[in-house]
Amino acid sequence: MGGGTGVNVGQVLLVATVALPAVGALLVAAVPGRNDRTGRIVGTVFAALAFLVSLPLYGNRAEGWVSYGPVSAGPPPVLPWHEVDLTWVPGLDLRFHLGVDGISYPLVVLTTLLTLLCCAYTLWHVPDPGRGRSLVALLLVIEVGILGTFLALDLILFFLFFEVVLLPMYAVIAGWGGERRRHAAGKFALYTLFGSVLLLVGVFVVVTAAGTADIVELTGGSELTRTTQLVAFTLFALAFAVKSPLWPLHSWLPDAHTQAPTVGSVILAGVLLKMGTYGLIRVAVGVTPEGARWAAGVLGVLAVAAIIVGSLVCLAQVELKRLIAYSSVGHMGFVLLGIATLTATGLEAALIGNIAHGVITGLLFFLAGAVKDRAHTGALADLGGLRETAPRLAGLLAFAAIASLGLPGLAGFWGEAFAVVAALKVGGPLWTTLGVLAAVGGALTAAYLLRLLRRVTQGRPAPAVTRLTPGLAGTELAAWGPLVLLALAIGLVPGLVLGIAGDPVQALVEAVVR
């Protein structure tokens, strides 16, 4: 194993973070169908263990990432906090190589937290047609794929974990979704398969040219020619754009979010989309930096197009979950804009934007699901006057919407504001224009979210809202409370994310721009 001749605590924690949800999924699947609640409890326990194990991955860290570049004599140029490097398939030189650093750690904790909250939520509410035990098992399998993607330091292993989420997420949407769930699930699968093929070809191009799949060794691009980097970056960028999703490859997202059950929407928006933007940073930019520099302007234009188009479409939406789904297109546009600048400020904006979006949009989908379950409709026209009949629910919805529009002091502010700042700092006619347009998109974000609050919470109660009970269940508060606190904590103390990511981001930028 990496990090020494013996096995240390950090390596055990690293493996346990991925292994616990896998074991939990197997045990839940083995529980007889008549003991459905027992299966959900077992799954929630294993999700809680995975969350608890992921936390000290930071506390027991080593020296941290020090630089990026080709492996040479002496100590390796990249030192993850913890690393596991085992021979997997000797004949093909495949390795089971996992590691965690300041770029991946916040996403790992976010994944384990949201999965725990979703599993706990099923203890109170299981969507039709029931079978909550199976739903929890699928959520745990999805968690394995997402965590493995964030922790993999081998390109082939990264690809395999990247693909693990496809079938279980398809099953979650198709099995527990709305009336058009099969159409939405099929669309999700087709788009994702398209991205997977591109990712596989990109991995093949890089591994064949460099003779290694080790992301640590490949970071900085010194093993690859310029032509190889341009080709590989194009493939990677398209593949990750589908998963994020980034405009104009986003059309699967609104259907998937609208039809998915509440817990499916939370996982999908909260962490599954982050696999794409994380891949852009770790693989596309890190492994093929010349390709990133070559395409930076195009990425910036597409990012701003996503911000503007997503906001304008949201202004025309009349369904609650669909509006929140389209808002993700705009928010992820800010993340892409930060990445496209290839600056430390931009990449840190992208990373904190990823975390903020996961927290806030996860909370929004929890609340939208609660409103829809109570009122039996998601039409904005049928949800007026919510604050009169369910003031607590309306208040939480208002908090989440204000956090999402980027109010200073809440989590949504930092990523979007500093993505604009990063574009303006790059300077020149193109980036200055992109920065200004992105700021205009931020104003449009405020417009559609305030419109949402006016339509849903203000006025006289609509007939569908008059029968709502004013109280909130204890399980709901337990599931939503941590996200509310995180939105406040990250907004007030952005160093919770930026302080962890600062050194590896700076090292990555130095490797990309040299």
Span 217-238, mean pLDDT?
A: 87
- Can you tell me the distance from the alpha carbon of 474 to that of 393, in angstroms, rounded to the nearest whole number? 13
Structure confidence at residue 50 (pLDDT):
94
Instruction: Give percent helix, percent strand, percent coil of the chain, each to the nearest 5.
Output: 75, 5, 20
What tokens does 18 get?
Answer: 């991925």
Span 414-437, mean pLDDT?
A: 90
CB-based contact 222:286 (threshold 8 Å): no
Q: 22-37 pLDDT, tens per residue?
A: 999 999 988 887 888 8
pLDDT reading at 70 higher than 60: no
> Residue 87 is inside which H or E element, if any?
strand 82-89
- Can you tell me the distance from the alpha carbon of 511 to that of 514, in angstroms, rounded to the nearest whole number? 6
Cα–Cα distances (Å) from 39 to 32, 131, 481, in that order, read 8, 10, 24
- Give the closest residue to 53 by CA, choosing from 151, 186, 188: 151
Structure confidence at residue 51 (pLDDT):
95
Structure confidence at residue 79 (pLDDT):
65
pLDDT reading at 76 higher than 70: no
Structure confidence at residue 514 (pLDDT):
61
Q: Can you say how many angstroms the Cα of residue 488 is from the centroid of all Cα atoms in its chain?
A: 19
Q: 248-289 pLDDT, tens per residue?
A: 777 788 888 888 888 888 998 888 888 889 999 989 988 888
Report the mean per-residue pLDDT for the chain: 85
- Can you tell me the distance from the alpha carbon of 27 to that of 15, in angstroms, rounded to the nearest whole number? 18
How many alpha carbons lie under 13 Å from residue 414 in its C-beta half-sphere? 28
Buried b (16+ CB within 10 A) or exposed e, 120-141: bbbbebbbeeebbbbbbbbbbb
Q: Pick the more confident residue, 6 or 156.
A: 156
What tokens does 117 get?
Answer: 């909250």
Q: 86-105 pLDDT, tens per residue?
A: 887 776 677 888 988 888 89
- Can you tell me the distance from the alpha carbon of 393 to that of 509, in angstroms, rounded to the nearest whole number? 43
Can you name the residues that pair with 83 across neighbouring β-strands? Answer: 99
- Can you tell me the distance from the alpha carbon of 43 to that of 28, in angstroms, rounded to the nearest whole number? 6
Structure confidence at residue 241 (pLDDT):
87
Span 283-305, mean pLDDT?
A: 90
CB-based contact 175:215 (threshold 8 Å): no
- Can you tell me the distance from the alpha carbon of 362 to that of 368, in angstroms, rounded to the nearest whole number? 10
- Can you tell me the distance from the alpha carbon of 269 to that of 355, in angstroms, rounded to the nearest whole number? 11
Structure confidence at residue 75 (pLDDT):
35
- Give the closest residue to 272 by CA, choosing from 365, 346, 209: 365
Span 209-226, mean pLDDT?
A: 83
What tokens does 184 get?
Answer: 């939405």
Structure confidence at residue 498 (pLDDT):
84
Q: Pick the more confident residue, 60 or 253.
A: 253
Question: SS3 of 88, please?
Answer: strand
- Percent of the chain whose pLDDT exceeds 70: 94
pLDDT band at 456 (very low <50, low <70, confident <90, very high): confident
In terms of C-beta density within 10 A (0-12 exposed, 13-18 middle, 19 or more buried), how is residue 277 classed?
Answer: buried
Can you name the residues that pair with 319 across neighbouring β-strands? Answer: 379
Q: Pick the more confident residue, 80 or 371.
A: 371
Q: Pick the more confident residue, 196 or 3.
A: 196
Structure confidence at residue 42 (pLDDT):
92
pLDDT reading at 65 higher than 50: no
Q: 144-184 pLDDT, tens per residue?
A: 999 999 999 999 999 999 999 889 999 988 888 777 888 88
Span 480-487, mean pLDDT?
A: 91
CB-based contact 422:349 (threshold 8 Å): yes
pLDDT band at 77 (very low <50, low <70, confident <90, very high): very low
DSSP class of residue 224 equals: S
Backbone dihedral region for residue 406 (phi beyond 0: left; psi -120 to 50: alpha; all else: beta): left
Q: Pick the more confident residue, 127 or 164.
A: 164
Structure confidence at residue 7 (pLDDT):
67
C-alpha torsion sign, points 152, 156, 159, 163: negative
CB-based contact 311:441 (threshold 8 Å): yes
pLDDT band at 19 (very low <50, low <70, confident <90, very high): very high
**Which residues, including other chains, have CB under 8 Å from residue 240's CB and lie 6 or more apart?**
195, 199, 246, 275, 276, 277, 279, 280, 283, 284
- Percent of the chain whose pLDDT exceeds 90: 30
Structure confidence at residue 4 (pLDDT):
44
